[in-house]
Amino acid sequence: MDFDLTDDQRLLQDSIVKLMANRYGNFDLRQAYRKHPEGFDRAVWDEYAQSGLLALPFAEEYGGFGGGGVDTMLVMDQFGKSLAVEPYLASVVLAGAVLRHGAQPAMAAEFIPMIAGGEALFALACTERASRYDLHDVSTTARRDGADYLLEGEKSVVLAGDSADYIIVSARTAGGRRELAGISLFLIDAKAEGVSRRGYATQDGLRAAEISLASVRVPADRLIGTADAGLATLERAVDEGIAAICAEAVGAMEALNALTVDYMKTRKQFGVPISS
């Protein structure tokens, strides 16, 4: 296997390095971004959109650049080095992957450009208080009511859930709580009647939310893919998210290692650097 970056990927990497150096040149900038009500600065998000970062993984027909996993990991690596606070993982990687892999063409054409252009934020609500890491452990229900679905339940630790304009929700349309089949994915308006959100800061300085759904009416055309068969799409999106987080962690570790080496070269004890 060839692990060398292509010329285009090197150019992408260089552009991200310059962008993050400008926006995260010192830690005080990060602290200032976190003080915004949403936990990040929309001006920075708009700059990501203008630079093409938000459009990176999406097909050209939806306003994207057709990038792959390596491209996303190059972005996340630099985000890790900078400890970036913007909801790239939540909106572009996770929610974006669900739409890329599961949405019908009409839905993809309507909503993916919103992510790619920075017009709206998306979140993925796929975990519940008792589900741990089992994506198929779903108590939230969606029952058919005429031409719509009614969603009932609660979702926990929804990344960027308090700032999202749209939320992708996993809900059970058939079967028991832990059955693999019977899980469907719905795209809901975050401000729809019956949706309540409680946002909070997470340990890493980002934000998440607890989301309650009380008879939230969702049109049938907001069902992503096929009813009862959403688990495979959900698992694929989360797998991509895990790869992205790993790249972010590598970036953070590389930055930490560089800071440690620099400190050991400059910090003196008994008149000599402690690295000697």
pTM of the model: 0.95
**What's the average model confidence in pLDDT over 108-116?**
98
Q: What is the CA radius of gyration of the chain?
A: 20
Residue 1 has pLDDT above 70, yes or no: no
Tens digits of residue pLDDT in 34-59: 999 999 999 999 999 999 999 999 99
Q: What is the 3-state secondary structure (H, E, C) of 252-275?
A: HHHHHHHHHHHHHHHCEECCEECC
Tens digits of residue pLDDT in 206-261: 999 999 999 999 999 999 999 999 999 999 999 999 999 999 999 999 999 998 98
Residue 275 has pLDDT above 90, yes or no: no
**What's the average model confidence in pLDDT over 80-90?**
98
* Predicted local distance difference test score (pLDDT) of residue 100: 98
| Helix, strand, or coil (residue 197) | strand
Q: State how far the Cα of 126 lies from the Cα of 263, in Å rounded to an integer.
A: 42
Tens digits of residue pLDDT in 198-221: 999 999 999 999 999 999 999 999
Q: Which of 185, 200, 192 is nearest to 230 (CA)?
A: 185
Q: Which of 102, 57, 84, 75 is nearest to 17 (CA)?
A: 75
| Helix, strand, or coil (residue 72) | helix
Residue-range domains of the chain with CATH: 7-119+233-264 (1.10.540.10), 122-228 (2.40.110.10)
